[in-house]
Amino acid sequence: MPADHIDQGTLTQSVGYCCLQAYLEIVPNIKKQLGKLQLRPVEYTVLSLINSNPNINQKRLGQTIRVSPPNMATLLDKIQADGLIERRRNPNDRRSQILALTPKGHQLYLKAEAVATRADITPTLTDDERQQLLSLLTKIFQN
């Protein structure tokens, strides 16, 4: 029996709604694939941002991915306990923590990047459409 058509009405004019629905379509596969490396998406994101931004501190990292300081602290506790990152006090301002990947963390990140890239699929879009989409989305959240 063919699924009847659902009319999403004005919701398809909402960027918020459409972003969420597209995200929910894509993310289960990413979760599943990263799960094989014992990583949640947010943990992979953190590894990636630390890798691309040496000496980033917790505040800027949390602001970038919209994780509050308390939740960032516990998230990083876990990643550190797994031996993936190290935290050291900034010598110029000992309040802040400077983050870096350990060799183990860097190795896992490289594997995870390959996995996540393969898992982030949009089969209904052409390559051009996908690039166009990424460009438009980026305009929304990059400051």
Which of DNA, its own copies, none does residue 17 bind (CB under 5 to 8 Å by kind)? its own copies
- Is residue 32 a contact residue for its own copies (CB under 8 A)? no
List 97's β-bridge partners, or say none: 89
Q: Which residues contact 68 (CB under 8 A, 6 or more apart)?
A: 62
Least distance (Å) between residue 128 CB and DNA? 31
How many residues line the site for its own copies (CB under 8 A)?
A: 57
Show the 3-state SS of 37-103: CCCCHHHHHHHHHHHHCCCCEHHHHHHHHCCCHHHHHHHHHHHHHCCCEEEEEECCEEEEEEEEECH
Q: Which of 32, 36, 59, 111 binds DNA (CB under 7 A)?
A: 59
Interacting residues with its own copies (CB under 8 A):
3-4, 6-27, 30, 41, 45, 48-49, 51-53, 56, 60, 64-66, 113, 116-117, 120, 122, 124-125, 129-130, 132-134, 136-143
